[in-house]
Structure 1
Amino acid sequence: MYIPKQFEIKDEKIIIDFIEKYSFATLFSQHNGEPYATHLPLLLHKDENVLYGHFARPNVQWKDIENQKVLVVFQGPHCYISPSWYETDKAVPTWNYVSIHIYGRVELIEDGHAIYDSLHDLVTKYESPDSSYKLDNVDRSFIDGMSKGIVAFKINITKIEAKAKLSQNHPVERQELVIKNLEKSSDQDNRHIAALMRKNL
């Protein structure tokens, strides 16, 4: 990913928090010599330096993905920045956004206990704390049967690239103008970018 120096995120905690918040990712690999992508939730286990996930078994991407070097993209908030917000008309439109790219090698998981643990972690992450649904309460034979319809995997991380393009290449006064206009918006992404820009000032 092209990352000008002023847009690079170096703080590991910020990167981890971002991956956990925007964990519905896009996984890119090669299948039959062509680019192939799947959109799916991935869980980061930082202590292992690994991402866990699973494919639906009919999704052919898994069939030749093992040991491939793959790219995972975690896309966060993004929004259009209008030059009409600036103090000058000598400007062009742009886009502000946050994105994390992770590279790694895929290893398929066949161990039933490891697959269950991965699914359990996924459900625990996304179910609200007061939810009545608990994977542990579901009949294990039913879970085992459903698990035959998926292919679990882990991605051993080799490289992380993190970028936050938040108008850092503009003067502070102009950044303030952008923030004020984004804060007027009802769009959630616009307001989130504004909040991130305020933290960055």
Structure 2
Amino acid sequence: MYIPKSFNIDDEEVIYDVIEQNGFATLFSQHKGEPYATHLPLMFNQSENAIYGHFARQNEQWKDTEDQQVLAVFQGPHCYISPSWYETNKAVPTWNYVSVHVYGVLKVVEDKNIIADSLNDLVNKYEHPDSSYHLNDVEPDFIEGMTKGIVPFRIKVTKIEAKAKLSQNHPVERQKLVIQQLENSSQEDNRQIAALMRKNL
């Protein structure tokens, strides 16, 4: 990923937070000699420096990803920035965004305990704390049957690149004008970018 120095994120906690908050990622690999991507929820295990997830078994991407260097993209908030918000007309439109690219080597997981823990972690993350649904309450035979339809995997992380393009290359007064416009927006991504820009001032 192209990352100008002023846009680089090197704070690990910030990086982990972007991954945590934007877990529905895009996983890229080479499949039959061509780039291939699948959109799926991924879980990052900091203590293992590894990512867990699973393919649908009918998705043939898994068949040739074993031992491949793959790329998982975690896309944070993003929004259009209009030059009409600036104090000058000598400007062009741009896009502000936050993104984390995680590279690693993929291995298919066979261990049933690891698979069960991974699926539990995924459900526990996204189910509301007050939800009546718990994976452990589901009939084991039903879970086993459903598990046959997936291919769980683990990605050992080898490199992380993280970028926050938040108008840092513009004067502070111009950044404040952009923040003001974004804070008045009804779009959630715009307000999130505004909050990140304000924190970055």
| TM-score normalised over the length of structure 1 | 0.99
Deviation (angstroms), 1:156: 0.4
The within-5 A match list for 1:16-165 is 16-165=16-165
3-state DSSP of counterpart to 1:161: strand
Deviation (angstroms), 1:154: 0.6
User: Distance between the aligned counterparts of 2:132 and 2:157, measured in 1?
Assistant: 34
For the pair 1:12 / 2:12, whether they are aligned, the reply is: yes
> Gaps spanning 5+ residues in structure 1: where?
none
Cα displacement string for residues 14-67 of structure 1 (whole angstroms, at most 9, x for unaligned residues): 100110000000000000001000000000000000000000000000000000
User: Distance between the aligned counterparts of 2:146 and 2:113, measured in 1?
Assistant: 14
For the pair 1:196 / 2:183, whether they are aligned, the reply is: no
Deviation (angstroms), 1:112: 1.3
User: Distance between the aligned counterparts of 1:168 and 1:196, measured in 2?
Assistant: 11
User: Distance between the aligned counterparts of 1:177 and 1:36, measured in 2?
Assistant: 40
2:67 maps to a residue whose letter is: N
How many corresponding residue pairs?
A: 201
User: Distance between the aligned counterparts of 2:119 and 2:185, measured in 1?
Assistant: 38
| TM-score normalised over the length of structure 2 | 0.99
> Gaps spanning 5+ residues in structure 2: where?
none
RMSD of Structure 2 on Structure 1 (CA): 0.5
User: Distance between the aligned counterparts of 1:169 and 1:9, measured in 2?
Assistant: 15
For the pair 1:186 / 2:186, whether they are aligned, the reply is: yes
Deviation (angstroms), 1:113: 1.4
User: Distance between the aligned counterparts of 2:4 and 2:187, measured in 1?
Assistant: 27
User: Distance between the aligned counterparts of 2:87 and 2:41, measured in 1?
Assistant: 42
Cα displacement string for residues 109-128 of structure 1 (whole angstroms, at most 9, x for unaligned residues): 01111111111111111111
The ranges of structure 1 where at least 4 consecutive aligned residues each deviate by more than 4 angstroms after the TM superposition are: none
